[in-house]
């Protein structure tokens, strides 16, 4: 048993906890970079809270996924304005952007110097500016991870800026903030959280600590994703989903992921598609491929026992089988109108390029067994169409 | 669902991980306060590691439990020497002492100003000096808690110095360091960890995050305490116990404890006795009292379901009952020669004073149900003798 575990210094969770924001920013400085998704109606009250607390907020908006050039520009702007700290209020993209901007406020090299894969991957030399992360979707768990996923349009990839000090100082998770999330986003983000829990649990790099978070996250999630999807103001379901998302972030940041996220990174760099939906399209075939490969080549792998445990948890039955669980995953995707990869513009001819890129993705290293090119190809091929043919294309 | 969670910024766990110490102290300064239990044979190698890393170590030794006047004196000494950071290497008392000294290096008021209950309980105004906590027993989980328990001889109580910033910066948990712990200390510290897991799980202040740690800690602990007790070099058992201890610290720091620890604080202030053994003496009667009180006055309390779950986990049987689990606790105490409270010099006549003090103990606030004076008295009365009469007095 060997592991390392790190997280945000402080996690505050609960309905209405946004009211603690004035207290949390005390002593952090006079000027705040308020990083948001740019929805004025949502951001207005946060802006006011900061002003009432005697802080001068400067708003920085992120539309869609954070692009490297945009982040570099916003960070330079925040530096010029003399921002002392960052409040990131939004979905996973916004939180990632906020974490990157907090790091770049004090680390003033070119952004490319700090990027993995396409840049120099240099470590940060200075502590990032304080960062308070306030997620408004239940999906990525980015409030407790130590990387920011940025999209380089130039290179056609998603890459991470990563450092232990990029963990936000405070993760403030208020489920009430997620009540107004529309169903399609609830589905996409919630499926991402669910798949993160599954992959972190099965990961080669899983630890007893990450196992604890995965078990508790999957157990508490229960049927809450579907409940939140069909009834946005089901606060109990929203709360469970925020908790599941938080657990998924705590787990993946310390235990890695697997083949679904290994694919989702390159696909996200090459095609415009909601991350959670891409992951969900891949999930049933990926689960089947892992199951088959483990049984054939590594039947003693503890991931098989964990698959069995997941089956019992998601089907809430001590006699559930892995086969039944995979069927359940397909039905879950169908219920939430998960499309096939084809619906994102991916064709047969794209498969070899995606396989080549995915093999080097950092998430792939967590997969419990190394999959062959044939197996990776099978997953993509099987995922081109919605899990249950012809049913789930309404989403687009 | 409302909770807050905080922990050491970095937890490193595994056999041989002590080798990472040189890397971990990089950049922390030139002079280290090395807080230890004063066993030269054990401390020598750590001393050498620090010197080889170009750091000048000053050794500060703690014998037995940390006394308030001793801590104040050591902290003043460390300040005079210009120590930049603290390495605490030892059992729970040493780690607590190290955390207190790290706080007092930068917060220079009189120690009493910062103490709860008997002092002013003032918050720290400065960030403590960096602190690396290296536990050498598997018991208190102090490496991931935010308080230091100090003994005031003058007041005859144990009190805490407590602040979120007192969480060590790094918790370095190396199970190999615990291999040489003698059986009586293995039993006392291990029982403390086990009881912390049980009380934190049942606590009124438990959260889904602390539940996750308790479940994983209890599950992984299995029969490892007894195995480590009878065979000190069973590294797998030692590893499981270190993990259980770590989980117990993570849980109690964020979810509180219960009646056993509510009693153990005052008893520890009034009588000389190993903390874990005091807790173990109290455990069977405390479990019985809580079980009876919950059934009688609050049968819907979720702690009853958790008791049932614990019974199944510790007896490893889906049909185990709470009654059987309480019998199991008694046998566990007998196997490890847990004495009765009488063996620590506690008499019938002391019971009212202990009850009075325990009612105000901070740990008591976590107990799942408020116990009456009669119930508290019953627990002490039942715990005067070893759980199975006449068997367990060999320990003394």
Q: What Å distances lie between residue A231 and A226, A236, A338, A364, CA to CA?
A: 8, 11, 18, 35
User: Among all residues of chain A, which has the CA nearest to that of B238?
Assistant: A1
**DSSP element (H, E) containing B301:** none
Q: Which residues of B touch A220 (CB under 8 A)?
A: 208
Q: CB–CB of B6 and A1 under 8 A? A: no
| Residue whose tokens read 């291990």 | B190
B13, B175, B212 member nearest A3 (Cβ) = B13
Please list the ranges in chain B whose pLDDT falls under 50.
390-396
Q: CB–CB of B209 and A11 under 8 A? A: yes
| Residue whose tokens read 């602990």 | B221
Q: CB–CB of B17 and A7 under 8 A? A: no
Q: Which chain B residues touch A if contact means CB-CB below 8 Å?
A: 1-7, 9-15, 17, 164, 167, 175, 207-209, 211-213, 215-216, 220, 239-240, 243, 247
Tokens of B55: 């750091």
* CA nearest to A271, candidates A344, A362, A354: A344
At residue B389, the pLDDT reads: 52
Q: Which chain A residues touch B if contact means CB-CB below 8 Å?
A: 1-7, 9-15, 17, 164, 167, 175, 207-209, 211-213, 215-216, 220, 239-240, 243, 247
Q: CB–CB of A215 and B212 under 8 A? A: yes
User: Torsion angle of alpha carbons B80, B86, B87, B89, nearest 10°?
Assistant: 80
What are the two backbone dihedrals, phi and then psi, of residue A169, each rounded to the nearest 5 degrees?
-70, -40
At residue B43, the pLDDT reads: 86
Class of domain B10-178: alpha beta
Q: How many CB atoms neighbour CB B319 within 10 A?
A: 8
Q: CB–CB of B13 and A7 under 8 A? A: no
Give me the tens of pLDDT residue by residue for chain A, a chain 396 residues long. 777 777 777 899 999 999 999 999 998 999 999 999 977 778 888 999 999 999 999 999 998 889 999 999 999 999 999 999 999 999 999 999 999 999 999 999 999 999 988 899 899 999 999 999 999 999 899 999 999 999 998 888 888 899 888 999 999 999 999 999 999 999 999 999 999 999 999 999 999 999 999 999 999 998 999 999 999 999 999 999 999 999 999 999 988 999 999 999 899 989 988 899 999 999 999 999 999 999 999 999 999 999 999 999 999 998 999 999 999 999 999 888 899 999 999 999 999 999 999 998 889 999 999 999 999 999 999 999 886 554 444 333
Measure in Å the smallest separation between the Cα of B373 and chain A Cα atoms.
Answer: 34
β-bridge partners, A132: A87, A170
CA dihedral for A150, A155, A157, A160, sign (positive or negative): negative
At residue A348, the pLDDT reads: 94
Q: Which residues of A touch B211 (CB under 8 A)?
A: 216
Measure in Å the smallest separation between the Cα of B139 and chain A Cα atoms.
Answer: 18
Question: Residue B204 and residue B303: Cα distance in Å, rounded?
Answer: 8
Question: Residue A246 and residue A92: Cα distance in Å, rounded?
Answer: 12
Measure in Å the smallest separation between the Cα of A170 and chain B Cα atoms.
Answer: 9
Q: CB–CB of A212 and B212 under 8 A? A: yes
Measure in Å the smallest separation between the Cα of A232 and chain B Cα atoms.
Answer: 18
Q: What Å distances lie between residue A288 and A282, A322, A376, B17, CA to CA?
A: 10, 9, 11, 37
Measure in Å the smallest separation between the Cα of B121 and chain A Cα atoms.
Answer: 20
Q: Which residues of B touch A10 (CB under 8 A)?
A: 4-6, 164
Q: Which residues of B touch A207 (CB under 8 A)?
A: 13
ipTM of this complex: 0.80
For B223-241, the pLDDT digits (tens) are: 999 999 999 999 999 999 9
Number of A–B residue contacts, CB under 8 Å: 82
Chain B interface mutation, best of A1, A250, A309, highest count of B Cβ atoms under 10 Å:
A1
Q: CB–CB of B4 and A15 under 8 A? A: no
Q: Where are the domains of chain B?
A: 10-178, 183-395
At residue A387, the pLDDT reads: 63
Q: CB–CB of B4 and A12 under 8 A? A: yes
Q: CB–CB of A13 and B7 under 8 A? A: no
β-bridge partners, A33: A58, A86
- Domain B183-395, classified CATH 1.10.8.290, yes or no: no
B9, B216, B240 member nearest A212 (Cβ) = B216
Tokens of B121: 């309980």
Q: Which residues of A touch B4 (CB under 8 A)?
A: 10-13
At residue A391, the pLDDT reads: 47
Question: Residue A22 and residue A19: Cα distance in Å, rounded?
Answer: 7
- Domain A192-395, classified CATH 1.20.1090.10, yes or no: yes
Measure in Å the smallest separation between the Cα of B211 and chain A Cα atoms.
Answer: 8
Measure in Å the smallest separation between the Cα of B206 and chain A Cα atoms.
Answer: 13
Q: How many CB atoms neighbour CB B300 within 10 A?
A: 7
User: Among all residues of chain B, which has the CA nearest to that of A216?
Assistant: B212
Q: What Å distances lie between residue B381 and A227, B284, B289, B359, CA to CA?
A: 51, 12, 12, 16
B14, B167, B209 member nearest A2 (Cβ) = B14
Q: Which residues of A touch B13 (CB under 8 A)?
A: 1-5, 207
Q: CB–CB of B215 and A213 under 8 A? A: no
User: Among all residues of chain A, which has the CA nearest to that of B170?
Assistant: A6
At residue B391, the pLDDT reads: 47
| Residue whose tokens read 């349009």 | A153
């Amino acid at each position: 048993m060997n592991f390392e575990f790190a997280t945000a210094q402080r996690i505050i969770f609960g309905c209405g906890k946004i009211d603690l924001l004035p207290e949390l920013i005390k002593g952090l400085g006079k000027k705040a970079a308020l990083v948001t998704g740019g929805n004025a109606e949502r951001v207005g009250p946060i802006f006011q809270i900061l002003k009432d607390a005697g802080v001068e907020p400067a708003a920085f908006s992120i539309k869609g996924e954070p692009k490297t050039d945009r982040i570099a520009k916003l960070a330079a702007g925040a530096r010029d304005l003399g921002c002392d700290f960052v409040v990131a209020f939004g979905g996973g993209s916004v939180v990632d952007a906020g974490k990157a901007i907090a790091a770049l406020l004090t680390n003033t090299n070119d952004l490319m110097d700090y990027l993995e894969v396409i840049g120099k991957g240099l470590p940060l030399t200075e502590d990032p500016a304080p960062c308070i992360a306030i997620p408004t979707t239940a999906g990525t768990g980015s409030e407790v991870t130590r990387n920011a996923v940025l999209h380089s349009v130039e290179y056609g990839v998603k890459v991470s800026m990563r450092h232990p000090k990029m963990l936000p100082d405070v993760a403030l998770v208020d489920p009430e903030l997620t009540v107004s999330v529309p169903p399609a986003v609830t589905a996409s983000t919630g499926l991402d959280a669910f798949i993160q829990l599954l992959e972190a649990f099965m990961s080669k790099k899983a630890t007893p600590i990450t196992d604890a978070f995965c078990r508790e996250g999957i157990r508490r999630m229960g049927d809450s994703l579907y409940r939140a999807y069909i009834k946005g103001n089901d606060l109990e379901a929203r709360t469970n989903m925020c908790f599941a998302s938080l657990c998924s972030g705590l787990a993946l940041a310390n235990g890695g992921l697997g083949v679904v996220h290994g694919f989702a990174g390159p696909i996200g760099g090459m095609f415009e598609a909601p991350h959670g939906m891409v992951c969900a399209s891949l999930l049933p075939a990926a689960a089947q491929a892992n199951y088959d490969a483990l049984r054939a080549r590594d039947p003693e792998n503890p991931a098989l026992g964990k698959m069995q445990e997941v089956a019992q948890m998601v089907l809430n039955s001590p006699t559930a089988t892995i086969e039944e669980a995979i069927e359940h995953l397909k039905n879950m995707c169908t219920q939430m109108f998960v499309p096939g990869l084809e619906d994102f513009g991916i064709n047969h001819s794209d498969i070899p390029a995606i396989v080549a890129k995915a093999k080097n993705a950092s998430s792939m290293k967590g997969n419990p067994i190394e999959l062959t090119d044939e197996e990776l190809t099978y997953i993509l091929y099987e995922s081109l169409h919605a899990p249950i043919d012809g049913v789930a294309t309404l989403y687009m």
